[in-house]
Structure 1
């Protein structure tokens, strides 16, 4: 007998957990000692996005034959990736039921059959006492029964799933008493949800994605314990949003095409870190104050960038760090408004700003005048990091011009990348 086979079952199982489930299963042919060891694995992951038809059929047969025989008393995680028609909804439901019977802690399903055929998961999924993490992605229809109880669920991630009714999501959420982390990514074309409601007193992190093609009419968010909020709203459909105050919010990420986000901004005034990109005119922002804001990241892509920056700086008297960049997958706007120098210097430039970072800097006049203004008035600035993009302005000339510009802070270190 080889030396590794002399190790205890517990140790061998830990070794098998270091390799993909498919490889772990293949060790069963090594010897009788290894034949059933994989059946004690507490973490199982089957399938992948590019699984061929023959592979999928082989996997389906394997799961139907072997999963009911699994021996682990607790399955810590069960992940399925199924992207073709070989995987039937009734088979998937059977596998989920089996996994749930082993005190399942985490369930992660990606289901994208072709042609599309939504799957309704078994009702006992919604009454699991052990489930802590639930992630569903793709052609899954959320038909939430009247009897719902998920007392241990802390993380819920729903990506591009379908909802039987507008009320389905909130019915699920209202029966997750300790839910802390929620991600909802709505579908594009074909999604019938008109009203999205998220009312969860325990929630600490919320990420909501509304695609361009989604015709949402209204969303309501009431999450008084929230610490992190991300809203990506690209819908061009006229819709209403009601967001209650979030007094414990620490960080917010807002990427929004809505013409009026005043109520949204009003609900996140307690944040310490804010990332924002918006087509909205923020003139009414003068009535708001970000009392706690220390880190502001602003996207360069909108024509209103310069106007928004002034409004945000005026509202943020305790700002310590300012990042100017392009958000992921955002393109620079070619017709940015020219900078209108504020009548009074924002308080944060005079009293608190210590760090400035500008990525994708072009050196064009619209950008240069803003950067020079900040350097000229930021009394306590310690570092200014400029990362250039491809530009008609030579990097050397750009650097020389900035290096010779007036700086209010003698301690400011100008770095060029």
Structure 2
């Protein structure tokens, strides 16, 4: 009680004791939305005028996940909350949440009041809990975020006619059918973010949502001892952007995506034959033995920007095949911050014909963690000698090189002949110094 009194005194000092209480209820509610929910609730003891103002707030946030009292505070405050419509409710409960509490009852409460945005993270010490079935038939939900100790179990198809954003982080599915039933009822879903762990009960993860425009899929499984290989299949006709991070070794297939124009693929697996990427404009890829076939057999007729991250294989010649298949490429980035193996042999042979993009389009070439190996030098020499439209070449030297070696390598590069008189060679990366995925998302 002393804490609440102190908080109310602070609030009084901030807003003053006179004029503010004369404002209309609607405006006072808007003011309370600017402060944390617990502070808004504390204003109820200021005066009779303030007693019920906070109960009309359309947005509630309870995110003190490690506080022992947050669950009790949440329970009590929700019981006296009066807003007929809940625009948004966010609840993050940590390990201090009592395991015998019925955490599903507040979800039912929120659904009864036509909640539009719901964010529930449960990280208690008990097993994952099944949420009320009414959650998956809520016709007002626009955004749904579920995290951690939550069991997604559906015995029939969901019906979420307003849902446009679905975010699932480390949840557990009853079975693969529950995943299929959940997605099947999301007819206008635009954005899907999935972050998985190995014990989520799904071997074959299939996303078939015709309205989906952007998907982020993350499966971080470094310790895959005894792991049975599965698959990822994405089939979404409206898909425009995709980010995949998957080191599980599962197979990966993207099909029926004629509108896909931006993709970031970081996968330690063999990409399927139906991997449709020919419409891409921006492409970010972990260039490894599993992705190389896809990257060297597709005609990237629309590709303008490409970042490759070579990983533990002989990559120089496959890169030139990709460049050969990308006639409109303007921006080529090589990022060697991962997977550098200095003992791995590299092969270099000049292409039989100059790639069209070098003659007509390539303007920017950047290389991060350039090592100065003879084969790498030949690649740069070839690009400088054949890129007629080149405006800027930027390189950062390998971090293990000392200053003298870096200066020597830069002098060697500057001495190479260039067909483009307007090209500049610098050691300042203008694009790779930023998080490249921002260009995707």
Per the normalisation by structure 1, the TM-score is: 0.90
Q: 1:353 deviation in Å?
A: 0.6
What CA distance in whole angstroms lies between the structure 2 residues aligned with 1:2 and 1:366? 76
Q: Which stretch of the first structure deviates more once superposed, 275-284 or 122-131?
A: 275-284
Write the distance in 1 (CA, Å) between the matches of 2:163 and 2:219.
24
CA shift, 1:331, in A, is 4.8
Secondary structure at 2:166 match in 1: strand
CA distance in 2, matches of 1:85, 1:134: 24
Q: 1:262 to 1:309 in 2, by over 3 A?
A: farther
Match of 1:203 in 2: 212
Aligned to 1:377: 386
Matched, 1:157 2:157: no
Q: Which residue of 1 aligns with 2:427?
A: 416
Comparing 16-25 with 161-170, greater Cα deviation is found at 16-25
What do the CA deviations read for 1:247-300 (whole angstroms, capped 9, x no partner)? Answer: 100101111111x32525x41111111000042263575542111111101113
1:308 aligns with 2:318: yes
- Equivalent residue for 1:174? 184
Tell me, in whole angstroms, the C-alpha distance in 2 between the residues paired with 1:271 and 1:414: 28
Which of the residues 121, 132, 145 maps onto 2:155? 145
Identify the residue that residue 37 of structure 2 maps to in structure 1: 21
Residue 336 of structure 1: how far off its partner (Å) = 4.5
Report the alpha carbon displacement of residue 17 of structure 1 after superposing the two structures with TM.
1.6
* CA distance in 1: counterparts of 2:368 and 2:376, whole angstroms: 11
Match of 1:37 among 49, 53, 57: 53
Structure-1 residue corresponding to 2:236: 223
Partner of 2:432: none
Tell me how far 1:347 sits from its aligned partner: 1.9
Question: 3-state DSSP class of the match of 2:207?
Answer: strand
2:348 is equivalent to residue 340 of structure 1: yes
- Are the equivalent residues in 2 in contact too, given 1:283–1:311 (CA < 8 A)? no
Measured in 2, the distance between the counterparts of 1:290 and 1:5 equals 63
Q: Which residue of 2 aligns with 1:353?
A: 362
Of residues 393, 415, 426, the one that matches 1:404 is 415
Of 240-249 and 221-230, the range deviating more from structure 2: 240-249
Q: Which of 368, 371, 376 is matched with 2:377 structurally?
A: 368
The aligned length equals 404
The residue aligned with 2:5 is none
1:171–1:414 Cα change, 3 Å: same
Mark the CA change 1:388 to 1:48 in structure 2 (over 3 Å): closer, same or farther. farther
Aligned-partner SS, 1:335: coil
Aligned-pair Cα RMSD in Å = 2.2
Paired position in structure 2 for 1:106? 117
Please give the secondary structure, in 2, of the residue aligned with 1:167. Answer: helix
Q: Determine the structure 2 residue equivalent to 1:269.
A: 278
Residue 78 of structure 1, CA deviation = 1.0
**Unaligned ranges ≥5, structure 2:** 1-16, 429-441
Structure 1 residues 54-203: aligned runs within 5 Å: 55-56=67-68, 58-88=69-99, 90-114=101-125, 116-146=126-156, 148-188=158-198, 190-203=199-212
Confirm or deny that 1:3 pairs with 2:19: yes
